[in-house]
């Protein structure tokens, strides 16, 4: 398996950094880490990461995930393409769903199994790579259909005509893309 170039860990616990480093050592060439979400801006701005592993809470007693969601928004603003993996302890699933809505790519439940961690990081890195290379064929198709639908105010017959496909073919493709 190929080795990933670089990932970033944002978590307030050094023990978690240590654990992720040891687990991802064979899979990632460079692992950066920071204990404070405040440093995220500069680090994401300075390097092109394959994936960011982001914790939800940083102050003791804090379980709202507010700091994590703030950092998520800042990372998205600086690097819209990097995949962000939210890390959350058991019992904060509703928060994890919220993070997905706000632009996280996936979330990882603590404590994780190393296999799951590696798989999640690789999947995230693949999404980052796809985003950085520009749209995939599927993505382009989806975008084209979406725009045509917009242009024709959601009228299927006119959309199909403008795209040069039959209506059943358009329905099939819309179902495939979840439109």
Which residues from 134-173 bind another protein, rule CB under 8 A?
none
Unique residue bearing structure tokens 């496909």: 165
Longest dimension (CA), the chain: 59
φ/ψ (deg, to 5) at 134: 90, 180
Closest approach, Cβ 122 to another protein, in A, equals 16
Which residues from 46-105 bind another protein, rule CB under 8 A?
59-63, 89-92
When asked if residue 117 is in the footprint of another protein (CB under 8 A), the reply is yes
Closest approach, Cβ 22 to another protein, in A, equals 4
**Under 8 Å CB-to-CB from 53, ≥6 apart: which residues?**
7, 8, 9, 10, 11, 20, 85, 87, 108, 121
Cβ–Cβ < 8 Å for 128, 135: no
Task: Report the residue from 13, 30, 167, 176 that binds another protein according to the rule CB under 8 A.
Answer: 13
When asked if residue 36 is in the footprint of another protein (CB under 8 A), the reply is no
Question: Tokens at residue 79, please?
Answer: 């690097």
Task: Report the residue from 66, 74, 76, 110 that binds another protein according to the rule CB under 8 A.
Answer: 110
When asked if residue 114 is in the footprint of another protein (CB under 8 A), the reply is yes
Q: Given the complex with another protein, which of 38 and 81 has the nearer CB atom?
A: 38
Selection from 67, 55, 107, 66 nearest residue 83 by Cα: 107
- The site for another protein (CB under 8 A) is made up of 13, 15-16, 18-20, 22-23, 25, 59-63, 89-92, 110-114, 117
């Amino acid at each position: 398996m190929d080795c990933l170039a670089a990932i970033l860990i944002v978590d307030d616990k050094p023990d978690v950094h240590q654990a992720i480093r040891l687990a991802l050592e064979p899979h990632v060439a460079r692992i950066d880490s920071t204990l404070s979400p405040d440093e995220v801006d500069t680090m994401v701005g300075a390097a092109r990461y394959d994936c960011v592993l982001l914790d939800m809470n940083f102050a003791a007693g804090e379980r709202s995930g507010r700091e994590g969601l703030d950092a998520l928004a800042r990372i998205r603003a600086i690097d819209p393409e990097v995949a962000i993996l939210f890390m959350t302890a058991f019992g904060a699933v509703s928060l994890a769903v919220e993070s997905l809505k706000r632009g996280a790519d996936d979330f990882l439940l603590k404590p994780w199994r190393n296999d799951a961690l590696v798989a999640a990081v690789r999947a995230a890195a693949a999404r980052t790579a796809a985003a950085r290379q520009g749209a995939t064929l599927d993505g382009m198709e989806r975008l084209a259909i979406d725009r045509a639908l917009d242009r024709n105010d959601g009228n299927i017959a006119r959309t199909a005509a403008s795209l040069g496909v039959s209506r059943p073919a358009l329905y099939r493709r819309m179902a495939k893309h979840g439109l």
